[in-house]
Amino acid sequence: MSFDAVQQLVSFWFLVSIGALIVGRLIILNSLAKAGQRIDWFWSGTPGYLEKLLWAGRGEAGRTGGMSRFLLGLTLNVIASALAFIFMVVMPAIARRAP
């Protein structure tokens, strides 16, 4: 099985977007921990949990907009890259293997 250039680019985009989401969530977790916010580490990777903490800790001051949009953008980027990966890499590979 050989990848063409588009499949390689989509695979790279998928891997980088997952890495960016993980690093972004760690940066925001670190900033919340430094601000004294109580964090339940078990739920820290769940979408929506960090946003809830942002609104609970900083919502009164109105400083959550940028970080919330940052998390939303990273999450949407992972969803878009996952869909592209499924339709442009996985499905053609399955079609080639079919008898």
pLDDT digits (tens, 9 = 90+) for 10-40: 999 999 999 999 998 888 888 888 888 888 8
As given in the structure block, the two tokens for residue 92 are 């053609």
Residue 10 lies in a domain: no
Query: pTM, whole model, 2 decimals?
Result: 0.80
In the predicted structure, residue 57 carries a pLDDT above the cut 80: no
- Residue 99 in any domain: the answer is no
- What is the span of the domain harbouring residue 31? 21-88
Split into its structural domains, the chain has a count of 1
| Cβ neighbours of 69 (radius 10 Å) | 10
How many C-beta atoms lie closer than 10 Å to residue 45's C-beta?
A: 13
Residue 29 has what pLDDT?
87
Distance CA 10, CA 15 (A): 9
Whether residue 15 lies inside any domain: the answer is no
pLDDT value at residue 50: 82
Question: 3-state class of 37 per DSSP?
Answer: coil
Which tokens sit at 96?
């080639």
What is residue 98's predicted lDDT score, i.e. its pLDDT? Answer: 72
Flag whether 97 is in a domain.
Answer: no
Question: Does the residue 93 lie in any domain?
Answer: no
Classify residue 43: in a domain, yes or no: yes
